[in-house]
Structure 1
Amino acid sequence: MSDVNTEHTWVDTFNESLMRTMGQPLALLTHGRGAFVWDENEKEYLDFLAGIAVNSLGHAHPVVVEAVTRQVSTLAHVSNYFSTRPQLELAERLKRITGAGPAGRAYFCNSGAEANEAAFKLARLNTRGGRSTIVSLKNSFHGRTMGSLALTGKREMQEPFEPLPGGVIHIDSTIEALEATIDDSVAALFLEPIKGEAGVIDLPEGYLQRARELTEQHGVLLILDEIQTGIGRTGRWFAYELAGIKPDAVTIAKGMAGGVPIGSLVTFGWASDLFQRGMHGSTFGGNPLATATANAVLEEIESAGLIDNAERKGVLLRDRIAALNSPLIDEIRGHGLLIGLGLSEPIALKLSAAAMDAGLIINAANESSIRMAPPLIIRELEVDIFITRFSAALTAVGFPPQPPTPEA
């Protein structure tokens, strides 16, 4: 009788049955509650990634459960030949919270990449005066569909799929490069207010204000990708509010429906007149299940004061992380509850693995950056638990918290 273990694990099933587009999962999660999730062995994790900024109300929030249950018992899908009350309500709500106002328009789809795909097509419609160039930033991320990948400023992601849709150039993230590029030949400028996938990298001070000035001067669409920064994550509904500007269009997804797939492109002013009937569409986009859930989530964020909570807990987290005084932490970036840590050594993967061992989910965005995007509902209790578990992870990789440096 063979003593070889022939048990088929979930890892085996994953490797044998799923497309090889992503790395092997870190765990098999089975359920969650609030800011916590549990794996198949009932190990608890504090989830400080929230599905990459998706689970804005955490896991199994009663508002999400009730909204999905109520809507799926009446209408889940009707196609885009019809409208529903949840769809109309969400469009009106997005016009209000974005600041697009009466002239604004909302287009619904199913993801952030789809929202950016729609925005790419919007940019192509701004052809006044023979405009043809679309400008994006190096080291940006806008999605993995062919159009959104063309916007993404990462050559290593693009190369296997070339030729990509043309007409896109990528520039350095400096005001000088912006001023040297934006002219009357440019149709649109695509920006992430904070580069999330790159490790939560802030744009230079005054960048968004200068981008708004130049795009208005030259008739260029300013399109902001707020898929990761939007829906209260930075302590405002949208990160562009921190700069005191409004774009011509904004793409939204991730946290809008608390885990139910949805995306949107919202246009402002004259940009709302570019799309005409038949130019774009989505079978599932704007379905009543997704839009009803989004309405419930956005209402809860607003009524429960979660945007203010994101601002306050973000400040608290930054202060508590800085107080650890670990020599591994060189820089603390981002706003609100979108936080990036720049590391002094390229061991982000090792640190995130140690955090998992300690019962904490964070993300190694690259070798030298940690990304965190906890649910907007976190309390001081979760901050305390985070500090305990993160300290354990820092200690495990050889960079434990240090006593405060004595004043000179």
Structure 2
Amino acid sequence: MRTIDLRGRTLSTAELLAVVPRAAEALQTAASVAAEIVADVRRRGEDSLREQAERFDGVTGHEVRVPAAHIAEAVAGLDPRVRAALEQAIERVRSASAAQVPPARETRFGSGARILQRWQPVSRAGVYIPGGKAVYPSSVVMNVVPAQVAGVSRIALASPPQADQAGRVHPTILAVAGLLGIDEVYAMGGAGAIGALASGVASLGLDPVDVVSGPGNNFVAAAKRAVAGFVGTDSEAGATEILIVADESADPRLIAYDLVSQAEHDEQASAVLVTASAPLADAVTAELQRIQPLTRHAERVAAALAGEQSAVVLVDDAATAEAFSNAYAPEHLELHLADASEAAARYTSAGAIFVGGYAPVSLGDYLAGSNHVLPTGGQARYASGLGAHTFLRPQQVIEYDRDGLAEVADAIVALADAEALPAHGEAVTARFSNAAE
């Protein structure tokens, strides 16, 4: 990993944003390619999806809409140990997601004037589950359960066809869909799947969705940007990121394992360590050199750690570490600090914050109860992770009677006149005059 030495420098927020490690060129390339793919799916539908399956997945002649029998077979063949773990994850995510659904609230301005604030679920959601370098049944849980908790009545799931499964969606993904009662599943992947969910594909019986959610690589994230405006999307959960802030009290071995755990996702994964302790940085680097060759995906990890998106960042003090992290706004933030619980309040921009040595990102990936579909690319400065709220729309219902309107009628007319929109005022005064007047 390269080193970014910020010691002895006082940087503004803009300057910090300029030095954070990002794979900018990869993101730009993904944006243009994804936009073309989405547009092609909108124009040519199933033909485009089949060409993409052959090009990207090495699959031809497969059933794009998954038959119910395939889902049933997958459920029947699910490893009991994996099923038990998934059922535990489902229970925890369902409980945590329920806390994200706000109750309806009423505001009254008198007996005849009220506003009801309610949260309405979208009618239809499309969830995307990656299936390239790894298999993500946990992502099925993280996407489907919050949508169900929100009250979404129709959910479509898309995941890439697998060449080693005769073009079927991976059986473990199908099995989790079956456990959750999802019977509308499509074997399609990447940016094309996002485009298909957004625009619909008539020949497959795929109706357009209202919201698209789910993680993926940079192309999937870019595709969400391309369909925004046609449908709602969650945050752009692209190539994974982990940023660890650590002090001299931290265990360099655990830090190295956590960096590797995220680097194994993808060559474009970001792994960043921020510390004011040069000895700790050296110890972590040594542990990485020991661990990386031994891990199953050693080449992938090596590429991610050597990429421009990964680095060891040396800072002068805790305040600079906080400022750097908040500017970076990582998907996953781990705090390996002596005062981690207290310090967590000062770290305001992160998709999810993992506090202390016993809260690795892996916990959040599977069984913390939190959601692992989180904003990447700095979007955690203004966007949140996936939750029940992703599938809900706040909606105001305004109900006034004659007395309630009369109380504010003169004020409405005054404001309407001030804005040179007299008909606005007349629409109110007409309710208090006879039609002949």
Q: Give the number of the structure whose residues are more often helix, by fraction.
A: 2
Specify the structure having the higher radius of gyration (Cα): 2
What is the TM-score normalised by the length of structure 1? 0.27
